[in-house]
């Protein structure tokens, strides 16, 4: 029995000695595996070769666990597997990074070419293309790390140059876009109808800016675009000045025609009850179509007395309405000018000009009618010697000449009132005074205090 126990102890001892001295700890393999894993992490293997990196990490963990369990042979096996997987992960990562860098370089160079880098940065662009060819050649020789390293060294410069080109092109295009947008605004289009020369200059600048942009002369293109924008902005000042001049010119016309006052028209005739009245200010003026009435077609000299009287009344109404509308529109133009609506103000002043033409035509016709009335009145009047007139009021001044008297207008006078005073109540003889003083009076309803008027010396029946 003792012999059997001794034998068993001997066998156990021998087995222990065998295990301790048979397979040593794989410390070198484990250290290498750890370094490889760290290197693959540094190379960014988890991103580009995640499967291989995960296997290497798993094998390394298994190796360290086997060592702790005294399974050195298994530990060594797992450590070597970890190293192999790390090498594959590193190689795959370097190839992928080299490919990615080459692709980035290629895309940037293509973009730079599209932005005419060969014109704008010719030397740099040529150097970038050479660097790309070197990286591509190294890659084709499977020298992925060298290819990547070369690409990485030049990529920041390429990216910076391309970014600068984007900014320069973007700025030039933006300035051109601003100029074009301004020309498409309704206000600009309205202004250029009146400022054709300025508009032509602006269109030329924009056209030049486009041409320069196509030629990659970005700074010159930007300058042209900015000049165009400045001229467009200055159009507002130009149209304002034009509006101001137009207002003054039109105001002078109205002053000359004495339309810029509150005017009162008189209806005159032989019938009793025809008194003065003020014409409504808001009546809308309309253009009478040519040949719309028989009276207009008929010569004044061919009209009957009744037709002439009716036509005179019609003309007085038309002229009154036109004057009212002229005042209304002119005031509207002034308001638009004050509010900065210069184009609208100018359009309104155009209408005022049109109405002034209508007014002048009507007034000419009206004067012809008055002349005809006076002519017919003279034909009916029996000439009598001048009769001594009653003493006039202190403020009235009458001077007598050989053929006519001279009367000085006082406040509140109008032609029919003067005729009433000087012709013994014959207010209807006001046309005689008007005709005799046509060199001084353009509108029979407008006479000024202090004016000296010629008064016929012959009295009506």
349-358 pLDDT, tens per residue?
Answer: 999 999 999 9
| Average pLDDT rounded to a whole number, residues 71-80 | 95
Tell me the average pLDDT across 154-178.
Answer: 97
Q: What is the mean pLDDT of residues 437-453?
A: 83
* Torsions phi, psi for 404 (to 5 deg): -155, 160
Residue 127 sits in the same domain as residue 62: yes
Query: Among 254, 281, 311, where does a domain finish?
Result: 254
Q: What is the pLDDT of residue 299?
A: 84
How buried is 392 (Cβ within 10 angstroms: 0-12 exposed, 13-18 middle, 19+ buried)?
Answer: middle
Domain membership flag for residue 336: yes
**pLDDT for 120 beyond 50:** yes
Pair 59, 132 in one domain:
yes
pLDDT of residue 16 exceeding 80, the answer is no
Instruction: Over range 216-243, report the average pLDDT.
Output: 92
Q: HSE of 443 in the Cβ direction (CA atoms, 13 Å)? A: 23
Is 277 in a helix, a strand, or coil?
Answer: strand
First-last CA distance in the chain: 186
Mean pLDDT of 449-460: 79
The verdict on 340 and 370 lying in the same domain is yes
Q: Which pLDDT score is estimated for 58?
A: 96
My answer on whether 301 and 372 are in the same domain is yes
Indicate if 33 and 141 belong to the same structural domain. yes
**Number of structural domains in the chain:** 4
Pick 307 or 175 by higher pLDDT: 175
Domain membership of residue 167 (yes or no) is no
Residue 272 in domain: no
Asked whether residue 96 falls in the same domain as residue 48, the answer is: yes
Residue-number span of the structural domain to which 110 is assigned = 25-154
CATH code (residue 403): 3.10.350.10
Q: Cα separation of 109 and 89, whole Å?
A: 30
Residue at 6 is within a domain: no
Report the alpha-carbon distance of residue 218 to residue 210 in Å, rounded: 10
Q: Are residues 144 and 30 in the same domain?
A: yes
User: Pick from 345, 380, 415: which residue ends a domain?
Assistant: 380
Domain membership of residue 270 (yes or no) is no
Instruction: State the pLDDT confidence band at 22, using cuts at 50, 70 and 90.
Output: low
Which pLDDT belongs to residue 36?
Answer: 95
CB neighbours of residue 18 within 10 Å: 10
Is 174 a domain residue?
no
Quickly count: other Cβ atoms within 10 Å of residue 444's Cβ: 24
Q: Rounded to whole angstroms, how far apart are CA atoms 231 and 192? A: 12
Q: What is the C-alpha separation between 264 and 291, in angstroms, rounded?
A: 29
Compare 173 and 398 and report the one with higher pLDDT: 173
Ramachandran quadrant class, 258 (left: phi over 0; alpha: psi -120 to 50; beta: rest): left
Q: Is 442 within a domain?
A: yes
Q: Which of 283, 438, 307 is nearest to 363 (CA)?
A: 438
Confidence of residue 305 (pLDDT cuts 50, 70, 90): confident
Domain shared by 375 and 402, yes or no: no
The pLDDT of 186-209, averaged and rounded, is 90
pLDDT tens sequence across 319-343: 989 988 998 999 999 999 999 888 8
pLDDT band at 290 (very low <50, low <70, confident <90, very high): very low
Is 313 found in the same domain as 203? no
CA–CA separation, 183 vs 445, rounded Å? Answer: 49
Domain co-membership, 30 together with 148: yes
pLDDT of residue 5: 54
The band of 450, judged by pLDDT with boundaries at 50, 70 and 90, is confident
Least trusted range by pLDDT, from 60-69, 99-108, 451-460: 451-460
Q: Is residue 18 part of a domain?
A: no
Does 398 have pLDDT greater than 80? Answer: no
- pLDDT given at position 384: 42
Confidence of residue 446 (pLDDT cuts 50, 70, 90): confident
pLDDT tens digits, 232-278: 988 888 888 989 999 999 988 888 877 754 333 333 332 223 222 23
* pLDDT (0 to 100) of residue 11: 46
Write down the pLDDT at residue 195: 87
Q: Which of 253-257, 332-336, 418-422, 432-436 has the highest mean pLDDT?
A: 332-336
Shared domain for 346 and 409, answered yes or no, is no
Q: Is 113's pLDDT higher than 90? A: yes
DSSP letter for each residue of 49-105: -HHHHHHHHHHHHHHHHHHHTT-HHHHHHHHHHHHHHHHHHHHHHHHHHHHHHHHHH
Q: Which one is predicted more confidently, 387 or 38?
A: 38
Pick from 407, 403, 372, 383: nearest CA to 393: 407
Q: Is the pLDDT of residue 132 over 60?
A: yes
- How many CA atoms, within 13 angstroms, populate the side-chain half-sphere of residue 328? 13
Residues 144 and 97: beta-carbon distance below 8 Å: yes
Q: Are residues 79 and 110 in the same domain?
A: yes
- Would you place residue 6 in the very low, low, confident or very high pLDDT band (cuts 50, 70, 90)? low
Answer with the one of 236, 254, 272 that is the final residue of a domain.
254
Residue 387: pLDDT above 50? no
Query: Sorting pLDDT into bands at 50, 70 and 90, what band is 460?
Result: very low
Q: What is the pLDDT of residue 227?
A: 96
Residue 181, pLDDT > 90, answer yes
Listed in sequence order, the residues at least 6 apart from 155 whose beta carbon sits closer than 8 Å to its beta carbon are 101, 104, 105, 108
């Amino acid at each position: 029995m003792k012999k059997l126990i001794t034998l068993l102890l001997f066998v156990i001892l021998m087995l222990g000695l065998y295990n301790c001295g048979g397979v040593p700890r794989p410390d070198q393999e484990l250290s290498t595996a750890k370094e490889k894993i760290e290197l693959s992490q540094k190379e960014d293997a988890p991103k580009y070769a995640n499967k291989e990196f995960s296997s290497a990490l798993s094998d390394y963990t298994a190796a360290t666990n086997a060592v702790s369990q005294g399974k050195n042979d298994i530990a060594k096996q797992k450590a070597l597997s970890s190293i192999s997987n790390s090498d594959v992960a590193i190689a795959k990562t370097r190839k992928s990074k080299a490919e990615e860098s080459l692709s980035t370089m290629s895309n940037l160079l293509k973009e730079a070419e599209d932005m005419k880098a060969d014109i704008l940065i010719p030397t740099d662009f040529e150097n970038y293309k050479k660097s790309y060819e070197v990286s591509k050649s190294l890659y084709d020789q499977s020298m992925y790390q060298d290819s990547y390293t070369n690409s990485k060294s030049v990529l920041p410069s390429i990216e910076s140059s391309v970014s600068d080109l984007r900014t320069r092109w973007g700025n030039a295009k933006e300035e051109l876009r601003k100029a074009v947008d301004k020309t498409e605004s309704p206000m600009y289009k309205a202004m250029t109808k009146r400022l054709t020369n300025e508009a032509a200059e602006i269109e030329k600048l924009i056209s030049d800016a486009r041409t320069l942009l196509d030629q990659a002369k970005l700074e010159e293109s930007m300058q042209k675009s900015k000049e165009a924008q400045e001229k467009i902005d200055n159009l507002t000042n130009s149209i304002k000045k034009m509006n101001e001049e137009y207002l003054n010119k039109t105001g002078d016309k109205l002053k000359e025609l004495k339309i810029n006052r509150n005017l009162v028209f008189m209806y005159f005739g032989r019938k009793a009850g025809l008194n003065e009245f003020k014409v409504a200010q808001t009546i809308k003026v309309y253009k009478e179509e040519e040949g719309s009435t028989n009276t207009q077609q008929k010569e004044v000299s061919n009209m009957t007395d009744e037709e002439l009287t009716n036509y005179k009344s019609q003309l007085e109404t038309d002229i009154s309405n036109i004057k009212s509308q002229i005042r209304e529109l002119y005031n509207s133009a002034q308001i638009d000018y004050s509010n900065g609506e210069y184009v609208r103000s100018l359009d309104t002043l155009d209408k005022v000009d049109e109405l002034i033409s209508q007014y002048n035509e009507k007034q000419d016709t009206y004067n012809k009618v008055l002349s005809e009335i006076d002519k017919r009145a003279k034909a009916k009047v029996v000439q009598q010697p001048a009769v001594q007139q009653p003493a006039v009021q202190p403020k009235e001044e009458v001077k007598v000449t050989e053929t006519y008297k001279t009367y000085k207008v006082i406040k509140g006078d109008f032609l029919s009132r003067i005729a009433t005073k000087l012709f013994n109540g014959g207010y209807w003889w006001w046309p005689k005074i008007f005709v005799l003083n046509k060199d001084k009076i353009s509108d029979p309803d407008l006479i000024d205090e202090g004016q000296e008027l010629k008064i016929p010396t012959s009295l009506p029946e």
